[in-house]
Chains A and B, each alone.
Chain A
Amino acid sequence: MDTQPQPSSAFDQVVLPHLDAAYNLARWLTRNGHDAEDVVQEAFLRALRFFGGFHGGNARAWLLAIVRNTCYDWLRRNRPSEASASFDEEVHSSAVDPNPTPEDLLIEQSGRLRLREALETLPLAWREVLVLRELEGLSYKEIADVAGIKMGTVMSRLARARAGLQQQLAIGLERK
């Protein structure tokens, strides 16, 4: 069967270049490559359906908003406990030292693998803002649009997520 693309449609040109970003976000939110593929396919179907309503602007943020919501729907269907795990910013933060000391600068010792594990253990809401900011390089405004939260929330959540990540790295190192 011929799987080579036909002359590209507008959708191919505008949305498809962001496939890596879509997969990366889905992979981090589902923490599983196979599930991420399912989510991305579903998200692209939705994107295709709603593409008529996309009037220019930032196609990557537009697509990532769809991927993000598809992820949450997928988690609700397939891992209801994870999706419904109530996230209380204050409760999660109370365990985290907001002002890491230089001793928490453990990235070199802990290595990339530890960093990946640490990031995967963070609550969904923290993982999401960290991936959008650090891996996708989105601005606060874009993150606010994608995640459906206020810009002020983006800033405080990022601060707490980073502190939480550093603490995870520190815990991992102590266990060794």
Chain B
Amino acid sequence: MTCSELRTFLHAYLDGELDLVRQVEIEDHLRACGACSRTHQAQLALGSALKSDELYFRAPAHLERKVRMAARPAEQKTWLPRLRMPAWIGAAIAAAAVVALAVFFSPMLSRPPRTERIAQDVVSAHIRSLMPGHLTDVPSSENHTVKPWFAGKLDFSPPVADLSAEGFLLVGGRLDYASDRPVAALVYRRGGHFINLFVWPSASTRELAEGADARQGYNLLFWTRGQTNFWAISDLNVTELRQFAGLVRGRLS
């Protein structure tokens, strides 16, 4: 990666919006290039300064009372007169709000519905797995125990990586269901955080791109390697989850 390419992708990198391949390229470049590394440091400093509490304006208490009352139709009278306005403004606001909603919802319609549905499946399966007694069907830290366990239960053999040296301990495996088919769920642990890695064969190489998502407090990463789809999900922070995904990819290539 050149310095110019780095500058193109630096902000997406800082914001955790880059795919894994580019992220690794950026990190390699930052290690090697002093000038880019200093730019990166400056941006990090700006970012953390902006996250200061002093820059965040919290709603005053009386505003919460006013807004709460708005949600109670019976009491709207007590403050509505303050907002009374000519009818045409009301109509204009209604029209603007319709436009606002259209603008807001139109990108949702264009989101690939399949990826969206898989993400929902993955989140549900992850949450279900964390309920007592649901985490593993085959509890084992041995990849040579977990991998053969799937034989005869799935129509493919999931790759199982041993990442214990890097601090991601294999906890076991489980049969699960996502993307309208049975899938292999490999469970890893990092400190107190569980990672579910869902694995299944891809129907076509163009089926899924790579990506990242965050929902309901969980980070998700997905990618396709060869003929196999991978979805990793955890409450682990996104940096360490990316590290995990990078290790899985490296080990299985």
Query: Which positions in A face B, CB cutoff 8 Å?
Result: 1, 3, 5-6, 9, 11-12, 16, 19-20, 22-24, 27-28, 33, 36-37, 40-42, 44-46, 48-50, 53, 57, 62, 65-66, 68-69, 73, 98-102, 104-105, 107-108, 112, 115-116, 119, 130, 133-135, 139-141, 144-146, 148, 155, 158-159, 162, 165-166
Contacts and interface: CB of A to CB of B under 8 A. Distances in A.
A65 B56 contact: no
Nearest to A136: B56
Interface stretch (B19-27, B58-66, B172-180): B58-66
Contact of B59 (A19, A116, A148): A19
Given A62-B104, A105-B45, A20 B60 contact: no
B17 interface: yes
26 contacts: A5-B72, A12-B68, A16-B67, A20-B58, A22-B59, A23-B58, A37-B60, A42-B93, A46-B97, A49-B94, A53-B101, A66-B97, A69-B96, A69-B99, A100-B42, A101-B42, A102-B41, A115-B50, A130-B50, A134-B50, A135-B55, A145-B104, A146-B104, A155-B12, A159-B10, A165-B46
Prevailing SS type, chain A contact patch: helix
Given A20-B59, A24-B56, 16 more contacts: A12-B68, A16-B64, A40-B63, A42-B83, A42-B93, A44-B67, A44-B70, A46-B93, A50-B101, A65-B101, A100-B42, A104-B42, A134-B50, A135-B56, A139-B15, A148-B104
B100 interface: yes
Contacts of A37: 60, 63, 66
B222 to A, nearest CB: 15
Given A65-B104, A145-B104, A165-B46, A19 B17 contact: no
Interface in B174-211: none
A66 B100 contact: yes
B71 A16 contact: yes
Nearest to A110: B49
Contacts of A115: 49-50, 52, 55
B65 A3 contact: yes
Contacts of A99: 7, 39
Given A37-B63, A40-B67, A102-B41, A73 B96 contact: yes
